[in-house]
Amino acid sequence: MSSDQHRREQLARTNPLFGPSKLKLGTFCSNTSGGATMSSMEGVFDLSWPNSLRLAELAEEMKFEAIVPVGRWMGFGGDTDFSGEVFETMAFAAGVTARTSFPSVFATLHVPAMHPVMACKQATTIDHIGGGRFTLNIVCGWNKREIELFGSPILEHDTRYDVADEWISLMKLLWTSDAPVDFDGHYFQVKGALMKPRPVQPYPALMSAGASPKGRAFAARHCDIAFAPLAERDPDSIRRRIDSYKQAAFEQYGRELSIWINAYVFQGDSEADAQRRFDHCVHEKGDWAGVENLIRDMGISQQSHTPEMLIKLKEDFIAGWAGFRLLGTRERIVEDMKMLVDAGVDGVLLTFPAFIGDMERFRDEVHPLLVQEGLR
């Protein structure tokens, strides 16, 4: 048995991300105003601690494997100031973990925002609160306005991953070393650091998102889960994309890599009803001024996208943080989710336009069908 297989077996004892379900599910963005929806339609997520806990309760009821907060430090302006209110993710993870018993509650950390010694200690604490359920989502930082809040300029793209490589390498040493750690890196220097207690897990499960070659190489080397964007809907294209992530991890590092995506759900009594809900959310009540700000901050331009592609991308950001579109009747949604599993997707983080009400409907109408299909 390889060291990677042994680690995943150890993680499976405490962390549901490594459990038996064919289709693993989670929520996304339950720590921020609007959830993942840039719209003023009725029912869009109103951030409060009771509302965040309600979503966690629903995740617990359905045995969702993950609750993933988004790392955000300021909103995007526009009509709704999308993500203008946000709970910090380490504190969020500690609080939600203490109120749940099954899901892995993640924290999403921007590497420039926290020193690795502090991050290591906080992650260990949360891991003990949850009995070994904690997972860390590593973000190198792409939003110039946010990174500059921490007193340093945003670095060149590939350099950010060099910093992250040192950051997480130091954390792994601290999590696993019996002796004090001296670390003399290019970006971090530590003398005599000793982390006690250790995590419940050998060290927490790790996730990162990145579609660039450098980002994918970082996930292949360090992470257990890669969060992959899907621009296509064709099953063969999705399968090729997923396989490319998994093959690179195995061929380069002898490691197994799980692939998760995010998706937004517009459920209706009919296909037409679901489409009407989408049009109301996006085209009648959507925050188009806010999405223009978001696109600008991400550096997306007409030079890299056709006008048609840009419109589709903006629609998807308004509807659910540019996730995979799950729109239609309950049967159609289950059919699409089965297609994703058949194409090699291991897990899906879900968002809903009217987050609480729509997730309750998903629990009552869609989730039982997923169980009936043997996906859950």
Q: How many whole angstroms separate alpha carbon 170 and alpha carbon 121?
A: 12
Average pLDDT score over residue span 218-246: 94
Q: What is the pTM of this model?
A: 0.96
Rounded to an integer, what is the distance from CA 213 to the centroid of its chain?
Answer: 19
Does position 141 have pLDDT exceeding 70, yes or no? yes
pLDDT of residue 301: 65
Nearest alpha-carbon partner for 337 in 303, 376, 307, 299: 376
Instruction: Tell me, letter by letter, the H, E, C secondary structure of the chain.
Output: CCHHHHHHHHHHCCCHHHCCCCCEEEEECCCECCCCCCECCCCCCCCCHHHHHHHHHHHHHCCCCEEECCCCCCCCCCCCCCCCCECCHHHHHHHHHHCCCCCEEEEEEEHHHCCHHHHHHHHHHHHHHCCCCCEEEEECCCCHHHHHHHCCCCCCHHHHHHHHHHHHHHHHHHHHCCCCEEEECCCCEEEEECCCCCCCCCCCEEEEECCCHHHHHHHHHHCCEEECCCCCCCHHHHHHHHHHHHHHHHHHHCCCCEEEEEEEEEECCCHHHHHHHHHHHHHHCECHHHHHHHHHHCCCCCCCCCHHHHHHHHHHHHHHCCCEEEEECHHHHHHHHHHHHHCCCCEEEEECCCHHHHHHHHHHHHHHHHHHCCCC
pLDDT value of position 298: 83
Residue 303 has pLDDT above 70, yes or no: no
Closest residue by Cα to residue 194 from 126, 127, 121, 129: 121
The pLDDT-based confidence of 205 (bands split at 50, 70, 90) is very high
Above pLDDT 90, what percent of the chain?
87
Q: Which residues pair with 39 in a beta bridge?
A: 286
pLDDT at 1 over 80: no
Which amino acid, one-letter code, is at 277?
R
Q: What is the percentage of the chain residues whose pLDDT exceeds 70?
A: 99
Summarize the confidence of residues 332-360 as an average pLDDT: 98
Q: Is the pLDDT of residue 183 over 80?
A: yes
Mean pLDDT of 298-316: 82
Which pLDDT score, from 0 to 100, does residue 284 have? 98
Residue 138 CA, chain-centre distance (Å), reads 10
What integer pLDDT is reported at residue 98 of this predicted model?
Answer: 98
User: How confident is the model over 284-299, as a mean pLDDT?
Assistant: 93
pLDDT at 144: 81
Segment 8-31 shows an average pLDDT of 96
The model's confidence at residue 153, banded by pLDDT at 50, 70 and 90, is confident
Structural domains in the chain, CATH included, are 3-372 (3.20.20.30)
- Using one digit for the tens of pLDDT, what is the confidence trace for 54-81? 999 999 999 999 999 999 999 999 999 9
The whole-number average pLDDT for the span 138-163 is: 87
Mean pLDDT, rounded, of the chain: 95
Q: In this predicted model, which residue has the larger pLDDT, 249 or 142?
A: 249
